[in-house]
Chain A
Amino acid sequence: MAYRDPRDFLPSTRREFIRLSTRGIGLLAFSRFAPSFLVNSTLAATPAPEKDRSILVLVQLAGGNDGLNTIVPFEDANYYRLRPTLGIAKETVLRTGDSLGLHPACEPLHQLFGNGKLAIVQNVGYPNPNRSHFRSTEIWETASRSNEFVSTGWVGRFLDNACSGLPADAPDPVGVHLTDNLPQSFVGVHEHPTFGLVGGSRTHREREENHRLLSALAHTADDAANENATFLKHTLMDTLVTEQKVQSVLGGYRPEANYPANNFGNSLRNIAALIAAGFSTRVYFASLSGFDTHGNQLNQHARLLATLSDGLAAFQRDLEAHKLDGQVVTMTFSEFGRRPNENESRGTDHGTAAPLFIMGSRIKSGMHGTPPSLDLAKNQDLSFTADFRRVYATVLEKWLMCPSQEILAGKFQTLGIL
């Protein structure tokens, strides 16, 4: 074949890059369409330690999780006043203390709590809450104030900032999302090698000819003003490099736990497979949706919490069996909690603060923070007691080992969860 194979002249290691640079082939000559891992790695100052790096798994509960029915204040008469039909009966609550407990569908999470592997941060929110799904999700993902619009995500800024450089020949994405679209959390000022993995089995036999011609086509010089074309080329190059590796890892993985047979369970299984394969990915993002329970929420919410709980517990068991649990912290978040008083449709409308879960073998388990006051009139919302950026600050400083002030545009006090 006479046509160029990009692998013939794209450097694959730092040494090769330097060799090419000294021959006058500068980075700029191909940085617009070189696989981004390569661009980033050649810019990186110091390589990150390969082993024992910390991994964060984010689990989005999309739609707005009903916090009051997740962590139930079963001794509070106001709770049952606000929830005449939706209130979880005291005797069915899975107790975590004298006055609080988990929804009965959370048996596996309750066990993790008992074993010291689950922390619960109560009543997390932010000032001047927004009740739009999109805006509030955006606020959570960008870690912005509710009156400020920021286009980058907090994970993206962590990656921008990353204290850690990548090893020059690491071909792995730094962020992997198991959602159809790239989460805004991952968007940085700089582009980062991220990889999207849609659920389900996607066996794929790419023909060699196709792979090679497409690599060449993706590598042609383009119009600098056409940013979408550059973006497409960039993504395609990354994809071609990563996909064969990922597919073989997922296909060959033998989990040591029974994951629930649903998309969420499958997403967590795939995350475990990539972690077990030693991917240098720092952040994974999975999503479970359906929490927007405006009507008849009792069964639906119980099902969702069971899916969440079963999936997380299987994931933790699997990591433990692979002795990888010390490397991973999993954290949930949702754009808002729901209105304390139930509505006339046996559901709940958009609210404000809610608890979130932190799971892992190296966390400080238990109930953190203070529960919300429920001495509320009709349609009055919860007042948060823990700013969500304090949770992020904690994860950044104490788990990802990165100063948080610049990433979060402010100094937030850390919590005792890690």
Chain B
Amino acid sequence: MNPSLEPRDAWERLPDRQWNAEAARHLLRRAGWTATSADVERATSEGLERTLELLFPAAAPRLPEPPLITELTEDTPAFVQKLSAASGGEKRALLREARERAQIALQDLSVKWLEFAARSENAASAKWVFFLGDVYVIASEKVKNPALIWRHFEILREHAFGPAPALTKAVSRSPAMIRYLDLNESKRGAPNENFARELFELFVLGEGNYTEQDIKEAARAFTGYRTMFGEFRFAARQHDLGTKTIFGHIGNFTGDDVIALAYQQKAVRTFLPHELVKFYLSDTPLPPGFTEPLGDWWAGGGYDLRALALKFFGSRLFFAPEYSGRFIKSPVQFYLGLVQDLDLDVVPIPRRVLVPLRQMGQMLYNPPNVRGWVGGRSWINSATLTARRQMVESLFEPIREEYLNADEQRSLEAARDRGAGKFTVADEGLAEFANNDAADAAGRLMRKFLGSSDAPEYRADLGEFLRPAQSEPVPARLRMLRRAAIALLQSPEYQLC
């Protein structure tokens, strides 16, 4: 659908008089995972400017490095030595052990990131870094080493709110990227084109804005990029120092030069804004003429990422009514939104969290391919919708701890020691809705989880479902409230934001 605004007005600041609870709810849901009533109240009273400043701070908050990652990095040199000394059989055993260790460390990193991102004060910047990771894609399936994955996302976080060219240059040195797109195989006389192609196609310019020849020449400029024990290393002897012709410019370009040249192309101005729209605003791209003014403005300021975020999320277009309640939540947003809406802690057990996310179609740190996740309606099919429903059910069912593995029990204990022990909703947790009036209870459930009780038919269905139990004793009423809440959170309305 076409926006209700003209392109020249689209990126103007939302007028103050239009800032209200509804606008705040839209901003919080889109920039983060959901909008709890406490957060909506605070944002409404603090105003749009202050809210944006808090959501997108100059420096993105940092998840402390997980100990398993640190140990993995520290142990790598010794492991490599041990491996080269090992015989055939020992070697296989060592490699198997290393694979298992890597898998555990990756799961641990995934769970820790979810715990971090679930905190309301981290939500928007964590999601922003996640967005950058959906542009500068790497996948654990190929990168394998979780220490490199951790480092990649550290690079994205460090540069998340600075100039975009610096981010792109840093990413070209990311050991995970060097491995993911085969830069480590690329050398003088035998350049590997994979990175150069995706740099232009998927990171900065978009398909159709470069020639095959530009790629071949750019690939030569990125020869010699290597990694050593998780750090970037430039192998000068493998680097092609020769003259290259890229975008019509001739010179002895380095990789950084190529990135600088790419940022001189017109297409770079609208590429990231276009990605921003796709990730945060709408499955339908804006009509021609809309991203251009934003891109030109962004280029004028030296491609500053924080400035772009503040402009985008504060714009009239972002708050236009045609974007409200129309966007399909990603699995990660769906899950973290549930955690926040139900006031829960992330269950620190991979198979209770990561496996369901994968079944919903999103495996953390492992997008399906270098384009990242497609998003929008592609999240939804009968299988993923069923997985979403199962996820909701599991959050209302007490964990039967006696059936957990010992390490899982230990993880739960450790979380409880940290004060994070609320993993599921008990029926008593719904007591605030358990009055004698089914219609009223239905309305309050809707306001809490959907932000509004305006849909009469939906409200009537919920009310009629609750009515037979309204004169029953409290436990029976609570049980029906639980069934109603579950269906509400599984319903199409809650999949949208």
**Segment from A15-23, A107-115, A215-223, A385-393 that makes contact with B:** A215-223
The residue that B465 contacts in the complex, of A213, A229, A233, A349, with Cβ under 8 A, is A213
Does A116 make an interface contact (CB < 8 A)? no
Does B333 make an interface contact (CB < 8 A)? no
Q: Which of A233-285 contact B (CB under 8 A)?
A: 233, 235-236, 238-239, 242-243
Does A409 make an interface contact (CB < 8 A)? no
Q: Which of B438-497 contact A (CB under 8 A)?
A: 455, 457-458, 461-462, 464-465, 467-468, 483-484, 486-488, 490-493, 495-496
Q: Whole-angstrom distance from the CB of B358 to the nearest CB of chain A? A: 9
| Complex: A231 Cα to B197 Cα, angstroms | 35
Which residues of chain B come closer than 8 Å to A216, judged between CB atoms? 461, 465
Q: Whole-angstrom distance from the CB of A168 to the nearest CB of chain B? A: 22
Does B328 make an interface contact (CB < 8 A)? yes
Does A48 make an interface contact (CB < 8 A)? no
CB atoms of B461 and A220 under 8 A apart:
yes
Q: Decide yes or no: A226 and B326 within 8 Å by CB, A238-B382, A343-B192 being known contacts.
A: yes
| Complex: A202 Cα to B391 Cα, angstroms | 13
CB atoms of A232 and B458 under 8 A apart:
no
A1-20: CB near B (< 8 Å → 1, else 0) gives 11110000000000000000
CB atoms of B384 and A213 under 8 A apart:
no
Does B18 make an interface contact (CB < 8 A)? no
Q: Which residue of B lies closest to A3 (CB)?
A: B464
CB atoms of B487 and A133 under 8 A apart:
no
The residue that A134 contacts in the complex, of B327, B369, B486, B491, with Cβ under 8 A, is B369
| Complex: A345 Cα to B191 Cα, angstroms | 10
CB atoms of A295 and B383 under 8 A apart:
no
B358-384: CB near A (< 8 Å → 1, else 0) gives 010100000011110010111111111
Q: Whole-angstrom distance from the CB of A206 to the nearest CB of chain B? A: 8
| Complex: A243 Cα to B382 Cα, angstroms | 8
Does A294 make an interface contact (CB < 8 A)? yes
Does B252 make an interface contact (CB < 8 A)? no
CB atoms of A198 and B384 under 8 A apart:
yes
**Secondary structure dominating the interface of B:** helix
Which residues of chain A come closer than 8 Å to B275, judged between CB atoms? none
Which residues of chain B come closer than 8 Å to A196, judged between CB atoms? 381-384
The residue that A198 contacts in the complex, of B359, B368, B376, with Cβ under 8 A, is B359
The residue that B385 contacts in the complex, of A4, A235, A349, with Cβ under 8 A, is A235
**Segment from B24-32, B167-175, B182-190 that makes contact with A:** B182-190
B1, B190, B378, B492, most chain A CB atoms within 10 A: B492
| Complex: A349 Cα to B383 Cα, angstroms | 34
Which residues of chain A come closer than 8 Å to B240, judged between CB atoms? none
CB atoms of B483 and A229 under 8 A apart:
no
Does A181 make an interface contact (CB < 8 A)? yes
| Complex: A204 Cα to B389 Cα, angstroms | 10
| Complex: A218 Cα to B325 Cα, angstroms | 16
Q: Which residue of B lies closest to A176 (CB)?
A: B382
Which residues of chain B come closer than 8 Å to A294, judged between CB atoms? 182, 185, 192, 194
Which residues of chain A come closer than 8 Å to B41, judged between CB atoms? none
Which residues of chain A come closer than 8 Å to B389, judged between CB atoms? 206, 214
The residue that B457 contacts in the complex, of A194, A220, A232, A238, with Cβ under 8 A, is A220
Which residues of chain B come closer than 8 Å to A217, judged between CB atoms? 458, 461-462, 487-488, 491-493
The residue that B378 contacts in the complex, of A182, A194, A197, A236, with Cβ under 8 A, is A182
CB atoms of A2 and B491 under 8 A apart:
no
| Complex: A344 Cα to B335 Cα, angstroms | 44
B409-448: CB near A (< 8 Å → 1, else 0) gives 0000000000000000000000000000000000000000
Which residues of chain A come closer than 8 Å to B381, judged between CB atoms? 177, 181-182, 194-196, 235
Does B231 make an interface contact (CB < 8 A)? no
Q: Which residue of B lies closest to A225 (CB)?
A: B1
Which residues of chain A come closer than 8 Å to B370, judged between CB atoms? 133
Which residues of chain A come closer than 8 Å to B185, judged between CB atoms? 294-295, 343-345, 347
The residue that A213 contacts in the complex, of B1, B390, B484, with Cβ under 8 A, is B484
| Complex: A233 Cα to B455 Cα, angstroms | 15
| Complex: A204 Cα to B381 Cα, angstroms | 16
| Complex: A302 Cα to B492 Cα, angstroms | 44
Number of residues from A at the complex interface, CB < 8 A = 55
CB atoms of B187 and A3 under 8 A apart:
no
A195, A200, A213, A243, most chain B CB atoms within 10 A: A213
Which residues of chain A come closer than 8 Å to B368, judged between CB atoms? 180-181
Which residues of chain B come closer than 8 Å to A350, judged between CB atoms? 193
Does B201 make an interface contact (CB < 8 A)? yes
Does B387 make an interface contact (CB < 8 A)? yes
CB atoms of B382 and A349 under 8 A apart:
no
Does A380 make an interface contact (CB < 8 A)? no
Does A51 make an interface contact (CB < 8 A)? no
Does B207 make an interface contact (CB < 8 A)? yes
CB atoms of A180 and B384 under 8 A apart:
yes
Does B322 make an interface contact (CB < 8 A)? yes
The residue that A135 contacts in the complex, of B207, B212, B369, B465, with Cβ under 8 A, is B207
Does A323 make an interface contact (CB < 8 A)? no
Which residues of chain B come closer than 8 Å to A182, judged between CB atoms? 377-378, 381
CB atoms of B492 and A236 under 8 A apart:
yes
| Complex: A349 Cα to B197 Cα, angstroms | 11
B307-338: CB near A (< 8 Å → 1, else 0) gives 00000000000000010011110000000000
B189, B462, B486, B493, most chain A CB atoms within 10 A: B493
Which residues of chain B come closer than 8 Å to A180, judged between CB atoms? 361, 368, 383-384
Which residues of chain A come closer than 8 Å to B379, judged between CB atoms? 181
Does B70 make an interface contact (CB < 8 A)? no
Q: Which residue of A lies closest to B328 (CB)?
A: A228
| Complex: A319 Cα to B491 Cα, angstroms | 39
| Complex: A5 Cα to B187 Cα, angstroms | 66
| Complex: A238 Cα to B385 Cα, angstroms | 11
Which residues of chain B come closer than 8 Å to A228, judged between CB atoms? 283, 326-328, 376-377, 496
Which residues of chain B come closer than 8 Å to A195, judged between CB atoms? 381-383
Q: Which residue of A lies closest to B457 (CB)?
A: A220
Q: Which residue of A lies closest to B458 (CB)?
A: A220
Does B386 make an interface contact (CB < 8 A)? yes
Q: Decide yes or no: A133 and B369 within 8 Å by CB, A181-B378, A214-B487 being known contacts.
A: yes
CB atoms of B496 and A232 under 8 A apart:
yes
Which residues of chain B come closer than 8 Å to A218, judged between CB atoms? 491-492
| Complex: A220 Cα to B464 Cα, angstroms | 14
A198, A206, A221, most chain B CB atoms within 10 A: A198
Which residues of chain A come closer than 8 Å to B457, judged between CB atoms? 220-221
The residue that A3 contacts in the complex, of B1, B182, B197, B461, with Cβ under 8 A, is B461
CB atoms of A343 and B490 under 8 A apart:
no
B335-371: CB near A (< 8 Å → 1, else 0) gives 0000000000000000000000001010000001111
Q: Which residue of B lies closest to A205 (CB)?
A: B393
Does A99 make an interface contact (CB < 8 A)? no
A111-152: CB near B (< 8 Å → 1, else 0) gives 000000000000000000001111100000000000000000
| Complex: A349 Cα to B182 Cα, angstroms | 11
The residue that B386 contacts in the complex, of A131, A202, A344, with Cβ under 8 A, is A202
B1-36: CB near A (< 8 Å → 1, else 0) gives 100000000000000000000000000000000000
**Ordered nearest first, which 5 A-B pairs have the shortest CB separation?**
A344-B190, A232-B492, A196-B381, A345-B185, A239-B382
With contacts A134-B371, A294-B185 known, what are 5 further pairs, Cβ within 8 A?
A: A1-B465, A62-B369, A221-B457, A227-B326, A242-B382
* Pairs across A and B, CB under 8 Å, 9 listed: A181-B361, A218-B492, A228-B376, A232-B328, A232-B380, A235-B381, A236-B385, A236-B492, A347-B185
